[in-house]
Structure 1
Amino acid sequence: MNQLSQETSPYLLQHASNPVNWKAWNTNSLAEAIQNNQLIIISIGYSACHWCHVMEHESFEDTEVAQTMNAHFINIKVDREEHPNVDAVYMKAVQIMTGRGGWPLNIVALPDGRPIWGGTYFRKEEWINALEQLHKLYQNNPEKMIEYAEKLHQGIETISIVQKQDSKDELDQNRIKPLVEKWKKSFDLEFGGMARAPKFMMPNNYQFLLRYGYQTNDSELLDFVNLTLTKMAYGGIFDTIDGGFSRYSVDMKWHVPHFEKMLYDNGQLVSLYADAYKLTKNPLYKEIITKTLGFITRELTNKKGGFFCALDADSLNEKQELEEGAFYVWQKPTLQKLLKDDFELFSVVFNINNFGFWEKDNYVLIQNQSLEEIAILHKMEVLELESKKKSWEQILFQEREKRSKPRLDDKCLTSWNAIMLKGFVDAYKALKDDNYLEIAIENADFILKYLWTPEGNLLHNYKNGKSTINGYLEDYCFVIESFIALYEVTFEEKWLHNAKQLTDYCLEHFYDEKNQFFAFTSNLDAALIAKHFETEDNVIPASNSVMSNNLFKLSIYFENIYYKETANQMIKNIISSIDYPSAYSNWLNAFLNYSEQNKEIAFCGSDALDYNSAINELYLPNIILAGSENESNLPFLKDRFVAEKTLLYVCQNKTCNNPIALSEEVDENLKSLL
């Protein structure tokens, strides 16, 4: 029988009424396969996945398909967001077998879990035929399957191994320039992003390029990043009506998105736009930040301060049928009726024309000109056009609220919550909206209360008061990063001590001395068929790259040599093997910590937080920030406090200049003192 009705995952619950005898991923399900000597079907997806829904409707809701699956296989459904470790291992297998990956991810494995066949989306007949052939082969010639499984298993185990480098090698910053020059050849200089479709936003790519362009005074890079951020903000990939970004664009111009909205994308993009705003003061970036955070607070926040995962790509259309993008698209007669005399001007701003047309009489709103350009062409004031645009968006928002909303994935994941927490902190730094800091602290308290156990480990998931999965490295690395970010704006040292405690837990339960990286799963968890070390940055930075950056910062705050040496060795192991820089951009960002421009600064004194606020408004990616309004026992700050003074310490490579006494006269020139 189908056992998924007992689960909390929205994705698994979507399949609870399928005629397939689904089981969840757990030790009992895996043990049953061994006991019965049955092949395993492992089907992996997530709640907002459009093609997962399509395959469910075509195959998993079909009794003929279910008959084949139930007769010969142990059928296991996996929510990739709850079990990214399982997804990572079997994704490697499918990529080895087929040269590509994606979701839904469907694998057939031996009873011991070793994969023998797999792919992504399959049509009904193709799926049935493949399963019947695999069953016959296992019945008649199991040795052939076992031999293939062993070879594939060896490939999975070796695919992510990174060669260790001599610890005496220098961290030479000159290695970065040729990688960036190679990368530039892939830039789309018309619409930004990479010159291919589909286009993923890849925030960590642009965080690095922004920082590197800034630190090297490369105006070409800075212009490209600003082009990309502007075109993404103009595109249909950004929901200008209610805020928030969709998953990716299916075309070159950021126009038609894959309409699912994911928490982790939006958290990272808020951080990216906040940094870009600090550097440029572009009001468009401020608009993106405020709209996106408004969307998060309205649609993806629970009553305890936790953040939900996602909104589905699909929603009910006028025929009450699930259709991708139905909630977001517009037809011309509807817009004409709603906007009346303003429709023609609206059509110019949002391209209700061939440029903005999608399919089936539907338009996805997209800009291709700035409001300043349009105002000049129509001989009107920019402020008037801005006011009209806000009014139009409000009208469309109210109309759209009458539609059936996309389905909500209402589980909370620790890693994604921490990414969004940091987004609120970074927005607070840039815009000084106290509400953003309050939300960030409330979310941090949610993590402390519901997702960090008295035994010292983090939990990965939360829904309806239940947390069922032990934390992965991604949970630790992003929580540590977000706690460091909270310290940077509050100077409350409890956040640093929490970060250190979690780091020490990682070193005990995740760090692999032999490979010199952190494993993705704790040594307290049951082992999978292969150990996974996440080292390539993707739409979310690799957990190891985030940990290397965390260790570097904490080594300075706590003057911890082991942290620093561990981070250094991780960087050395990766940097020498980089060929495709966009897959290692967060590593390159961490590598920039070792440039001669990197400094540590501390404000000590009664006005420390005021100066801290001023410095946080500036784009200074090469600065590590500390401070205290009172005496501090934090190693980096120890003995730096002097009563009735506010002192600035500027340090580099464990050497600090003489402290500078701060006053109102030098406040405006604060940046020049660094």
Structure 2
Amino acid sequence: MKQLENLLSKETSPYLLQHANNPVAWQSWNDSILKFAKDNNKLLLISIGYSACHWCHVMEHECFENKEVANLMNENFINIKVDREEHPDVDHIYMNALQIMTGHGGWPLNIIALPDGRPVWGATYLPTKKWMGSLYQLRDLFNQAPEQMEDYANKLSSGIKQLNTIVKATPSENLFQKTYLQQITTSWEDKFDWENGGFKGAPKFMMPNNLLFLLEYASSEKNTTLLDFVEKSLLKMAQRGVYDTLGGGFSRYTVDEKWHIPHFEKMLYDNAQLIELYSNAYAFFKVKKFKQVVEESINFIQRKLTHPKGYFFSALDADSLTISNQKEEGAFYCWTKKELQEILNDDFEIFAAYYNVNTTGLWEHNKYVLFQTESNDTIAQKFNITTNELQIKIQHSKNKLFKIREKRTAPDLDDKGLTSWNSLMIKAYAKAYQVFQKEEYLNAATKATQFITDNLLDENYNLLRSYKNNIKSCLEDYALFIEALIELYQSNYDDKYLLLAEKLTKIVKSKFYDEESGLFYYTAKEVKLIQRSIETQDNVIPSSNSVMAKNLFYLGKYFLCQEWVKTSEIMLSTILPNITDYYSGYSNWLSLYLKLANPFYEIVIAGENTKKEVKKIQQHFLPNKIIALSTSNLKLTNNKSSNNLSIFACRENYCNKPQNDINEVISMLQNEV
């Protein structure tokens, strides 16, 4: 067998490039290296992570930079490094395997597999001795009793296959009832953190899709208890350490349940969804803080995560360099008391009270995470100043600190341009434009969309997943891009976005649809993996099937395609038996359920000043509708024209008498339950 060398220097992924100088003979995931393993009957060691993963960095330092460990790995395994953000399909399969084997998951995800790719062992982070001990045992078992590994691989593969055994529902009339959602939300309340907002437990993730569904449901039912919970959750998240009060944008999660101490990596997908969520929340609650969060977070995206060509980068690392040139988690974002005193001088005392430069905000290495726990009124009263004077002082101090922080060594940037995550950001910009009517937001959305169509979409409407390489798209990429196109149409009413969404949906149906389950595979027919998975559970990012189900629902309305609406309903019906007590894993499905259980309207605006009138409705939180302009060449808009302002409010294309007052239509949508 030829001696392999580390080939990661030839890759474009920042995560893979981080490992390019390891003594481990890392290979990238590709067909040729998989064939090489089979031809030479060598075990695969598949290590999966991402560039902003703190524990991935720790394991690299402790294990993969160690020559003794590398020799053990190189002599006995074909070692493959995988960026989970480039290959979520590979990550899905092996994460499912790990969860079956151990009951938990996480990254780095380390899998030992037979030469044909079937997994037999898995773990996340392991210190050096445990890692080496495990590898010795696996080497010996493969050499001395390979039939035991083969038997276990067969059983595990059967278990993974069972995860995708889904029974397609049969169509049923009157299946979607509001009482079901009442039962769900009442039961879900046991998981709410009524004191701190969000959901109980730590580490604590923001789960924007959960909160968006609860906002949709609570607003439709006029449920003040739930509305208060959502508003409180959003305020707490915006005030506490999970939000970067100096530079805008959110960290991925906090290690505690009070949102105080973040895990400092900043992900595009989190911030995109949170910008959308806070835009919707501002449209409903009209809380100034929510508008501030949107504006500051968008400024962060523009400064740190936007390429001049218009697409968006993926993430900023949690770790950064200290003054002593050592990598340390949160170094870029935290402050010592001495630093703050020297910079702020006379304003330090007020700033320290406002942002908990005290035992509450003290983290580690005598550094502080800045977050607010007391109200502006309380702090202003304490220092005998007005709230306006307080805000001026705090903003002045923040500006000072921000300028100094920008001179620090920034966290490493993951500069991948991923279709799916870019689509989330396009949708966020489109929603922010609708609510705040800032043209720059719409321009950013259209520019990023143009970048994808120019660089990641071929003439046959096949998408690529990542800019800079030729990795084929997964269902997630198609689903989220289609979703973004639908939102973009509802921002500027350019037909081309809906027409492209329609074409891409036809591609998805032909390449990903599974007749047996009535759902979509995560990978296309031509992608060869040990198994094809079907993703149904919503996570921090909604599942690709739940997104596609909503896409089919909306596009079915726009193009009067009842088949697509029916497919959407069957998909939801198929998933319903899985929604037992893990409601957070199905919130995007529940959002679709809400639209099927409650009256849902197709609004067509015709006549004079349609663009002016539609802006009025865009600024309200009205999730129970889609909007089209009569100038659009869509089946929905056929025979809905007028010289004078006419607003058609339709359900399944059966329309009420046209109205000429947009405010009456808004009122109807707000009060329809």
Q: Given the two structures, how large is their TM-score scaled by the length of structure 1?
A: 0.97
Tell me if structure 1 keeps the 8 A contact 2:168–2:516.
Answer: no
Could you tell me how far apart the structure 1 residues matched to 2:362 and 2:329 are? Answer: 16
Q: CA RMSD in A?
A: 1.1
For residues 502-544 of structure 1, what are the alpha-carbon distances to aligned partners after superposition, in whole Å with 9 as ceiling and x for unaligned? 1010000011111110111111222x11211110000000000
Residue number in structure 1 paired with 2:187: 182
Could you tell me how far apart the structure 2 residues matched to 1:374 and 1:558 are? Answer: 55
- For structure 2, the 5+ residue unaligned runs are none
Tell me if structure 1 keeps the 8 A contact 2:169–2:571.
Answer: no
- Classify the secondary structure of the residue corresponding to 2:185: helix
For residues 281-325 of structure 1, what are the alpha-carbon distances to aligned partners after superposition, in whole Å with 9 as ceiling and x for unaligned? 100001100000000001101111000000001100111011110
| Equivalent position to 1:586, from 569, 585, 588 | 588
The one-letter code sitting in structure 1 at the alignment partner of 2:65 is E
- Classify the secondary structure of the residue corresponding to 1:576: helix
| Equivalent position to 1:334, from 320, 335, 339 | 339
- Classify the secondary structure of the residue corresponding to 1:190: coil
Alignment of structure 1 residues 350-499 onto 2, 5 Å:
350-462=355-467, 466-499=468-501
Residue number in structure 2 paired with 1:295: 300
Residue number in structure 1 paired with 2:235: 230
Could you tell me how far apart the structure 1 residues matched to 2:219 and 2:409 are? Answer: 44
Determine if the alignment matches structure 1 residue 267 to structure 2 residue 272: yes
Residue number in structure 1 paired with 2:520: 518
Shift of the alpha carbon at 1:670? 4.6
Could you tell me how far apart the structure 2 residues matched to 1:448 and 1:163 are? Answer: 36
Residue number in structure 1 paired with 2:105: 101
Residue number in structure 1 paired with 2:504: 502
**Would the alpha carbon gap of residues 9 and 328 (structure 1) be closer, same or farther in structure 2, given more than 3 Å must change?**
same
Tell me if structure 2 keeps the 8 A contact 1:315–1:407.
Answer: yes
Could you tell me how far apart the structure 1 residues matched to 2:594 and 2:654 are? Answer: 19
Residue number in structure 2 paired with 1:46: 50
Tell me if structure 2 keeps the 8 A contact 1:489–1:612.
Answer: no
Tell me if structure 2 keeps the 8 A contact 1:243–1:294.
Answer: yes
Could you tell me how far apart the structure 2 residues matched to 1:467 and 1:657 are? Answer: 51
Residue number in structure 2 paired with 1:539: 540
Could you tell me how far apart the structure 1 residues matched to 2:69 and 2:588 are? Answer: 43
| Equivalent position to 2:313, from 297, 308, 312 | 308
Could you tell me how far apart the structure 1 residues matched to 2:526 and 2:41 are? Answer: 27
The one-letter code sitting in structure 2 at the alignment partner of 1:57 is H
| Equivalent position to 1:671, from 654, 666, 671 | 666
Shift of the alpha carbon at 1:451? 0.9
Alignment of structure 1 residues 217-256 onto 2, 5 Å:
217-256=222-261
Shift of the alpha carbon at 1:573? 0.6
- Classify the secondary structure of the residue corresponding to 2:637: coil
Question: Which shows bigger deviation, 35-44 or 567-576?
Answer: 567-576
Shift of the alpha carbon at 1:606? 3.0
Tell me if structure 2 keeps the 8 A contact 1:477–1:543.
Answer: yes
Shift of the alpha carbon at 1:549? 0.4
Shift of the alpha carbon at 1:668? 4.8
How many residues are matched? 663
Q: Given the two structures, how large is their TM-score scaled by the length of structure 2?
A: 0.97
Determine if the alignment matches structure 1 residue 656 to structure 2 residue 655: yes
Tell me if structure 2 keeps the 8 A contact 1:160–1:535.
Answer: no
Could you tell me how far apart the structure 2 residues matched to 1:430 and 1:336 are? Answer: 40
- Classify the secondary structure of the residue corresponding to 2:411: coil
Could you tell me how far apart the structure 2 residues matched to 1:476 and 1:114 are? Answer: 28
- For structure 1, the 5+ residue unaligned runs are none
Could you tell me how far apart the structure 1 residues matched to 2:378 and 2:667 are? Answer: 36
Alignment of structure 1 residues 107-256 onto 2, 5 Å:
107-168=111-172, 170-256=175-261
For residues 380-410 of structure 1, what are the alpha-carbon distances to aligned partners after superposition, in whole Å with 9 as ceiling and x for unaligned? 2222222222211111111111211000001
The one-letter code sitting in structure 2 at the alignment partner of 1:556 is K
Determine if the alignment matches structure 1 residue 562 to structure 2 residue 599: no
Question: Which shows bigger deviation, 573-582 or 205-214?
Answer: 573-582
Could you tell me how far apart the structure 1 residues matched to 2:160 and 2:360 are? Answer: 44
The one-letter code sitting in structure 1 at the alignment partner of 2:153 is A
Could you tell me how far apart the structure 1 residues matched to 2:476 and 2:450 are? Answer: 19
Could you tell me how far apart the structure 1 residues matched to 2:190 and 2:113 are? Answer: 41
Shift of the alpha carbon at 1:669? 4.5
Residue number in structure 1 paired with 2:635: 635
- Classify the secondary structure of the residue corresponding to 2:188: helix
Could you tell me how far apart the structure 2 residues matched to 1:673 and 1:545 are? Answer: 28
Residue number in structure 1 paired with 2:26: 22
| Percent identical | 47
- Classify the secondary structure of the residue corresponding to 2:533: coil
Shift of the alpha carbon at 1:376? 3.5
For residues 16-41 of structure 1, what are the alpha-carbon distances to aligned partners after superposition, in whole Å with 9 as ceiling and x for unaligned? 11000000000011001100000000
**Would the alpha carbon gap of residues 667 and 139 (structure 1) be closer, same or farther in structure 2, given more than 3 Å must change?**
closer
Could you tell me how far apart the structure 1 residues matched to 2:449 and 2:633 are? Answer: 23
- Classify the secondary structure of the residue corresponding to 2:578: coil
Tell me if structure 2 keeps the 8 A contact 1:270–1:289.
Answer: yes
